[in-house]
Amino acid sequence: MTVLKKVALFCLALFLVNNVVAQAKLGEWRSHLYYRRALKAVQANDRIYCGTENGVYYVSLKDNSVTMLSKVDGLSGVNVVTIDVDKATQNVFIAYEGGLVDMLGPDYVVPIPYIAEATSILGNKTVNNFFFSNGLAYMATNFGIVVYDIDKREIRETYLNLDERGNQLEINDVAVYNGRVYASSKMGLRSGNINDNLLDFNFWRTDLKMDCDVMEVFNNQLLLHLSDNRVQSYDGQVFADFAPMAWAVVRHMDVYQSKLVVTKKNNILYFDTNYRADSLVTGSPSHGLLDSKGAVWLSNWNNGLIKFDPDPIFYTPNGPGGATAWDFAYANGELWVASGGVDLAFNPRFLNNGVYMYDNQHWTNFNGSKNPSLTPLRDLHQVRIDAQRGIKYVASYNKGLAVFDANNQITVYDQNNSDGAISTRDNDTGSNAWISMAGIDLDTQGNLWMTMQYTEQQLAVRTAEGKWQSFNIGSEKRVNDVLVDASGQKWVIIHLNGIYVFNDGGTPLNTSDDKVRFVNQSLGNGNLPAPDVYSMAIDKDGDLWLGTGDGVAVIYSPENVFKGQPFDATRPTIQDGEAVGYLLQAQKVNCIKVDGANQKWFGTDKGVFVTNPTGDKIVYEFNTSNSPILSDVVRSIGINEKTGEVFFATDLGISSYRAVATEGDKEQKNVYVYPNPVRPGYSGPIAITGLVANANVKITDISGNLVYETTAQGGTATWNGKTLNGQAVASGVYLALSSDSEGKTTHISKIMIIR
């Protein structure tokens, strides 16, 4: 008898279970991943692990809590291909793109890097599926089968070149049945006796010459799904239609709780050993799991992990609305993220994940499904915030400008409602005309400046009062980013060919006093180190920092461009031992960010580099080899100026790091110390924050004896709990006395130390 359970997800009461994330501690890393594209879930002991396209998380069956796992927790990769569990040891195996594999226990992660690092194997090394038998994990890869000894934690054997002629064969799935190892592929089903020398392809035979993929062993049968959607059973001699389900679009076959669980295109079937089936109709599942208590867990491509017991409960960690991120802006306690972007040649990528907002440790997402006005806009790739009015501007490399008011109501501006200031590419008047808005920035008056590619008027402005004007600034039509400097001048990057500098004379609506200058590599006309400029930033001294294809340059007097005075760029030099070189020489600098201590953060294709204010000393260097950052390719950097948390938009998603430097306050009214009290066992830094910029901080004991002295990085100072001689202080109350450089603004904080 078959019991049919139909589930309409959109009309049932749903319960969303989210994890609670505390504020990051100093020096702590976090990953901010998109968890809704669930691929597969498995049960290990009292946890349900869910592998998603961009990360892993688990649900505790004890308290229903959700815990996210990432590189911060020791995982090796980001883009998950599949996940499985060895039921004998309860170890969870995770495969990532490129061949990285992790084995997870309840409180440990064992990296298995050998496949990804194997130099003798060419091409894609991704592991597609796992099978577990007698303490061994068989991995079906794009080049063959890898056998891993779970107890010894080592690779036992690798079966290569498994086709009939000894050529490399991509293996879709692997199974062990009746003493033979079976490998499914587009070339058919191949198998070898487990006692033979399977390193030699001659010991393998072809059992079936037909494209096949997923397999499972159930009820003493090998079950096999073919490319024509037939499901076959095989006893090692004869193939036959699998009677309970001779034809189906099958995504997975698994055995849970002595039942065969089949994930089909529109439902989940679970058969007992007599082939009686229950069914859960769900729409389009990625994978179905039957847990030890009989509840069904559905992995869904759009909604994460869902438990049916019997009504649906959604276990989806809060996160950004997509895996893509391109640009950041921070103001008023909110971090806004533009998710779209362009490729290396500044061509569109057609991304439509919308805009993400991070506030109070929570992500809110704005996209076409929730905000129809955003539906036509692709590649929303730059964001700027008018902090005073609470207005957010987001540029699309497709259909114009999205403006979020203080209440996050959205208005889209294009060629039809901008008094002609926003132009389409090549003045196209068709309904599908493109607006290639390449950059946006705000001046101190609240005017928004925009650059547009392939238009007669490459620069436009929307004033704070809502008036529009556009400008032709030269013959180059492929302009990129725009930056307003401390003097109000607009610096416009030309794609691979220098910079335009535009001065509106302080009258954005009056074009009669406008000036334009072309800045390039010529001495006396910019002296740029390279023609390809990718990033710009103004530091706290008003200096202009430029990121090029050949490192970093600084224009220390950008206000001199139209004054007939020197303004050429110089290159900061770095000394490494006895060698001296230019800062980030020969590297492409994708982005530059200035923190509260005037330190410079540079994002490159080789990670993040942080320098002191003058750029002649590297303070930090973060990459995938020495930190949990998701990727070495860093496109944008954003900083929460109040907490010092630094966000990195990489090509694999968003990472963040809690740095020390914060923006200094004008007055020391909100100074606080954390942690406070400092409890036994704590050895991290003690932060005194809310200070005026670069305050002098003295730590004394209760009697006034000096213990330690330091200078704040922006608005935050740190103390390691030790004396100037490096000795840990005893238990007691200590005072943190802070003052500005003139001693006019002072504050005293108490710190309790408990040893």
Say what the pLDDT of residue 330 is.
Answer: 97
What are the E-state strand segments in 227-308? 231-234, 239-241, 250-256, 259-264, 267-271, 277-281, 285-290, 296-300, 304-308
Say what the pLDDT of residue 205 is.
Answer: 97
Q: Strand order in 645-650's β-sheet?
A: 29-32, 653-658, 645-650, 634-639
Distance CA 205, CA 215 (A): 17
Q: Is the pLDDT of residue 345 over 90?
A: no
Distance CA 333, CA 348 (A): 31
Q: 280 — phi, psi (to 5°)?
A: -120, 115
Distance CA 342, CA 379 (A): 7
Tokens of 59: 């649900």
Tokens of 482: 């725009």
Tokens of 219: 């009820």
DSSP 7-70: --GGGS--EEE----PPPPTT-EEEE----SEEEEEEETTEEEEEETTEEEEEETTT--EEEE-
Q: Is the pLDDT of residue 18 over 60?
A: no
Collect contacts of 55-62 with beta carbons under 8 A, ≥24 apart.
55/31, 55/80, 56/80, 56/83, 56/94, 57/19, 57/305, 57/317, 59/17, 59/305, 59/307, 59/315, 61/291
Say what the pLDDT of residue 6 is.
Answer: 37
What's the average model confidence in pLDDT over 315-338? 96
What's the average model confidence in pLDDT over 436-465? 97
Q: Is the pLDDT of residue 221 over 60?
A: yes
What's the average model confidence in pLDDT over 184-195? 97
Split at pLDDT 50, 70, 90, the class of 4 is: very low
Say what the pLDDT of residue 284 is.
Answer: 86
- What ranges do the domains of the chain cover? 3-21+34-315, 325-413, 672-753
Tell me the CA distances in angstroms from 569 to 280, 483, 527, 528, one per residue in order: 66, 16, 6, 6
Using DSSP, state whether 495 is helix, strand or coil: coil
Q: Is the pLDDT of residue 745 over 90?
A: no
Tokens of 165: 């002629």
Q: Is the pLDDT of residue 13 over 80?
A: no
Amino acid at 27: G
Q: Is the pLDDT of residue 21 over 80?
A: no
Strands 15-17 and 312-315: parallel
What's the average model confidence in pLDDT over 316-330? 96
287: buried, middle or exposed (CB in 10 Å: 19+, 13-18, 0-12)? buried
DSSP 611-668: E-TTSSSEEEEE-TTTS--S-S-EEEEEE-TTT-EEEEEETTEEEEEE-S-BPPBSS-
Say what the pLDDT of residue 281 is.
Answer: 84
Q: Is the pLDDT of residue 14 over 70?
A: no
Tokens of 83: 């996940």
What's the average model confidence in pLDDT over 35-55? 97
Collect contacts of 509-515 with beta carbons under 8 A, ≥24 apart.
509/463, 509/467, 509/469, 511/469, 511/471, 514/471, 515/562
Looking at residue 727, the DSSP 8-state letter turns out to be P
Q: For the segment 355-364, what is each residue's pLDDT rounded down to a tens digit?
A: 999 999 999 9
Say what the pLDDT of residue 80 is.
Answer: 97
Say what the pLDDT of residue 1 is.
Answer: 34
Distance CA 95, CA 98 (A): 9
Split at pLDDT 50, 70, 90, the class of 404 is: very high
Looking at residue 608, the DSSP 8-state letter turns out to be E
Task: Give the chain's largest Cα–Cα span.
Answer: 91
pLDDT averaged over the chain? Answer: 94
Using DSSP, state whether 92 is helix, strand or coil: strand
Percent of the chain with pLDDT over 90: 91
Distance CA 384, CA 361 (A): 21
What's the average model confidence in pLDDT over 393-419? 97
Which residues, other chains included, contact 583 with Cβ-Cβ below 8 Å and sequence gap of 6+?
Answer: 551, 552, 571, 572, 573, 574, 611, 615, 616
User: Is the distance from CB of 345 to CB of 331 less than 8 angstroms?
Assistant: no
Q: For the segment 113-151, what is each residue's pLDDT rounded down to a tens digit?
A: 999 999 989 899 999 999 999 999 999 999 999 999 999
Say what the pLDDT of residue 666 is.
Answer: 87
Q: Is the pLDDT of residue 353 over 50?
A: yes
Q: Looking at the domain covering 672-753, what would its CATH class be?
A: mainly beta
Split at pLDDT 50, 70, 90, the class of 22 is: low
Say what the pLDDT of residue 431 is.
Answer: 84
Distance CA 660, CA 613 (A): 14
Distance CA 170, CA 203 (A): 18
Could you tell me how many residues make up the chain?
755
Q: 518 — phi, psi (to 5°)?
A: -95, 120
Residue 564: count other Cβ atoms within 10 Å of its Cβ.
7
User: Is the distance from CB of 280 to CB of 263 less than 8 angstroms?
Assistant: no
Q: Which pTM does this prediction carry?
A: 0.93
Among 552-556, 732-736, 739-743, the minimum mean pLDDT is found in 739-743
Tokens of 161: 């070149």
Which residues, other chains included, contact 705 with Cβ-Cβ below 8 Å and sequence gap of 6+?
Answer: none
Say what the pLDDT of residue 241 is.
Answer: 96
Amino acid at 661: A
What's the average model confidence in pLDDT over 36-48? 97
Which residues, other chains included, contact 397 with Cβ-Cβ below 8 Å and sequence gap of 6+?
Answer: 340, 341, 342, 348, 378, 379, 381, 436, 437, 438
Q: For the segment 534-583, what is each residue's pLDDT rounded down to a tens digit?
A: 999 999 999 999 999 999 999 999 999 999 999 999 999 998 777 899 99
Using DSSP, state whether 601 is helix, strand or coil: strand
Round to the nearest angstrom and report the end-to-end CA distance of the chain. 67
User: Is the distance from CB of 55 to CB of 97 less than 8 angstroms?
Assistant: no
Say what the pLDDT of residue 733 is.
Answer: 97
| Fold designation for 3-21+34-315 | Methylamine Dehydrogenase; Chain H (2.130.10)
Split at pLDDT 50, 70, 90, the class of 346 is: confident
Distance CA 124, CA 141 (A): 9
